[in-house]
């Protein structure tokens, strides 16, 4: 769209388009970049920290020691819910357009919780300790939303 001011000859009103946007892109860097590329290929990778734990999503530096991290570890697509909270009225920008649960999911092989939506029908169907599995989007672009949501294992 032209950003040049235009004159409406008939009404004499000056108009100009106004586009509100961030006109730059950011790099996600070597660690999150690899994590997101993995999601595109249906692969979830965490990173190992000094005390042996595997963090998912991975981070560039050890939250305790501050050391740089580089030991990637692939984790499972199935995990255990460590915390959950029901959302009765989703907004347009939320991952699902029907009521769902937010959860921290500790994927098998990981030691931390990945935040995402769980499509489980009602609040009563999900609790701390529930087992859930990833539901991938058909089209994936290297974003956290490549995971559409989690579903109860066996659903």
Partner 1 sequence: MRDVAVVSFAQAPNLRSDRERNEVEIVMPVVREALDSVGLEQSDIGFTVSGSCDYLTGVPFSFVMALDAVGAWPPIEESHVEMDGAWALYEAWVRLQHGDIDAALIYSFGKTSLTDLDKVMSCQLDPYTLMPLWPGAISLAGLQASAMLAAGTVSEADMAAVASHSREAAQGTPEIPEAEGPADVDDLLSRPRVAHPLREHDIAPATDGAAAIVLVAGDRAAEVCDKPAWISGIDHRVDTHAPGNRDLTTCPSARMAGERADVGRSHIEVAEVYAPFSHQELLLASELGLGDGVDVNPSGGALAGHTFMVAGLARIGEAARRIHDGTATRVLGHATAGPCLQQNLVCVMEAAR
What are the residues binding partner 1 (CB under 8 A)?
A: 28, 32, 36, 55-57, 59, 63, 82-88, 91, 93-95, 101-104, 112-117, 123, 127-129, 143-145
Closest approach, Cβ 11 to partner 1, in A, equals 30
Closest approach, Cβ 56 to partner 1, in A, equals 8
Phi/psi of residue 146, nearest 5 degrees: -65, -30
Distance CA(107)–CA(100), nearest Å, equals 19
Q: 111 vs 133, which CB is nearer to partner 1?
A: 111
Residues 6+ apart with CB under 8 A from 80: 105, 106, 108, 129, 130, 131, 132
Q: 95 vs 134, which CB is nearer to partner 1?
A: 95
Closest approach, Cβ 8 to partner 1, in A, equals 29
Distance CA(71)–CA(47), nearest Å, equals 6
Closest approach, Cβ 21 to partner 1, in A, equals 14
Q: How many CB atoms lie within 10 A of CB 121?
A: 15
């Amino acid at each position: 769209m032209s950003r040049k001011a235009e004159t409406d000859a008939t009404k004499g009103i000056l108009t100009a388009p106004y586009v509100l946007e961030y006109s730059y892109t950011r790099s996600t860097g070597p660690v999150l970049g690899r994590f997101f590329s993995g999601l595109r290929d249906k692969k979830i990778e965490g990173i190992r920290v000094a005390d042996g734990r595997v963090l998912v999503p991975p981070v560039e530096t050890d939250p305790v020691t501050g050391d740089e991290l580089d030991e990637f570890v692939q984790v499972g697509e199935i995990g255990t819910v460590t915390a959950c909270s029901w959302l009765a009225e989703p907004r347009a920008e939320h991952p699902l357009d029907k009521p769902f649960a937010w959860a921290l999911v500790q994927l098998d092989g990981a030691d931390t919780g990945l935040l995402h939506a769980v499509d489980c029908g009602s609040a009563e169907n999900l609790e701390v300790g529930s087992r859930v599995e990833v539901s991938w989007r058909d089209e994936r672009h290297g974003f956290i939303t490549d995971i559409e949501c989690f579903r109860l294992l066996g659903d």
